[in-house]
Amino acid sequence: MAEQGKYLRKPEWLKIRINTNRDFRGIKHLMREERLHTVCEEARCPNIHECWGSRRTATFMILGDICTRGCRFCAVKTGRPTELDLREPERVADSVKKMKLRHVVVTAVARDDLKDGGASVFAETIRAIRRKAPYCTIEVLPSDMKGDDESITTLMEAKPDIFNHNIETVRRLTRKVRAIATYDRSLAVLRRVKELSPNTPTKSSIMVGLGETKEEILQAMDDLLENHVDIMVIGQYLQPTRKHLNVVRYYSPEEFEELKKIALAKGFRHCEAGPLVRSSYHADEQVSEASRLHHDQLIEEERRETKNG
């Protein structure tokens, strides 16, 4: 049950500029026409008007719109999912091609009712996009798939360009904020992805404003780095409805800037931090960063091989 308390008024820096131009309307129409879901809409992302209206980017949410988990920060519907739509990967790929996207994020509701947590559908979606839009880079944002090694392997065999999985909050608050998922299991998933595909950039995010301390945020940074995460995202938690967890406090833009500087100084290759930043925020801009990271890793491997040889 969500913790009830004083409802905090949003500060000025959280005001959102609405942009419902032709691009926004066109993407929305295409999503409805193809019967696709986006986390942009389902999770009530505050950046939807910027991404759809200005950047022409979107995060596709596969495996339906009903989640088997009931995390206390999330607006996505919870319940018993319907059967799988086997045509969904092709429809996502068709939409990516029609929209001429150069980078796409594919996420999903948690599907604990499926043996592989939906990993095979993720993999088929990646392959479908590769066939129909080979110029497009692909980022995936799955659930922890209950930490199942076979499921993680199935997804990674499809070779996404970026693997993204969120720890969501600091260790102490995990049980209050998340349902079923655990802090250590999420870290283990991120670590296992690096073991399977050392050159694939990994990414994770946390929300702030839930009652965490600065020391706990810094510890979360260290925990992610210890598990070889390359990119970190830090955003402000916004209460989607009064039934969800209350915001304990709002961080200022200056505080986010400080956290970004700390993250980069600690060793992250890239960090996005800000009041309206979300896991997929400006994901298209991180493609070049991911490519640079991949290039640097290849050079380092070659250097080591030459030294050892």
- Give the pLDDT mean for 275-283: 69
> Residue 51 corresponds to which amino acid?
C
Q: Indicate if the pLDDT at residue 87 is higher than 80.
A: yes
- Give the pLDDT mean for 111-117: 94
Q: Indicate if the pLDDT at residue 5 is higher than 60.
A: no
Q: Is 210 helix (H, G, I), strand (E, B) or coil?
A: coil
H/E stretch holding 130 reads helix 119-132
DSSP of 95-115, one letter per residue?
HHHHHT-SEEEEEE---TTST
- Token pair for 165: 């999985």
- Is the residue at 2 inside a domain? no
For residues 272 and 268, give the distance between their C-alpha atoms in angstroms, rounded to a whole number: 11
- Is the residue at 181 inside a domain? yes
Question: pLDDT per residue over 33-45, tens digit each?
Answer: 555 555 444 444 4
- Token pair for 74: 């999330």
- Give the pLDDT mean for 221-240: 95
- Is the residue at 56 inside a domain? yes
Half-sphere exposure of 292 (CA within 13 A, CB side): 9
Q: How many domains does the chain have?
A: 1
Task: Supply the DSSP symbol for 161.
Answer: S
- Give the pLDDT mean for 32-57: 50
Q: Is 221 helix (H, G, I), strand (E, B) or coil?
A: helix
- Is the residue at 201 inside a domain? yes
The distance from CA 31 to its chain's CA centroid, rounded to whole angstroms, is 20
- Is the residue at 5 inside a domain? no
- Is the residue at 1 inside a domain? no
pLDDT band at 56 (very low <50, low <70, confident <90, very high): low
Contact (CB, 8 A) for 205 and 235: yes
Q: Which domain holds residue 49?
A: 16-308
Nearest to 101 by CA among 126, 138, 127: 138
- Token pair for 61: 């949410």
CATH of the domain at 121: 3.20.20.70
- Is the residue at 281 inside a domain? yes
Q: Is 149 helix (H, G, I), strand (E, B) or coil?
A: helix
What sign does the dihedral 277-241-172-176 (CA atoms) show? negative
pLDDT band at 88 (very low <50, low <70, confident <90, very high): very high
- Is the residue at 61 inside a domain? yes
Contact (CB, 8 A) for 93 and 125: yes
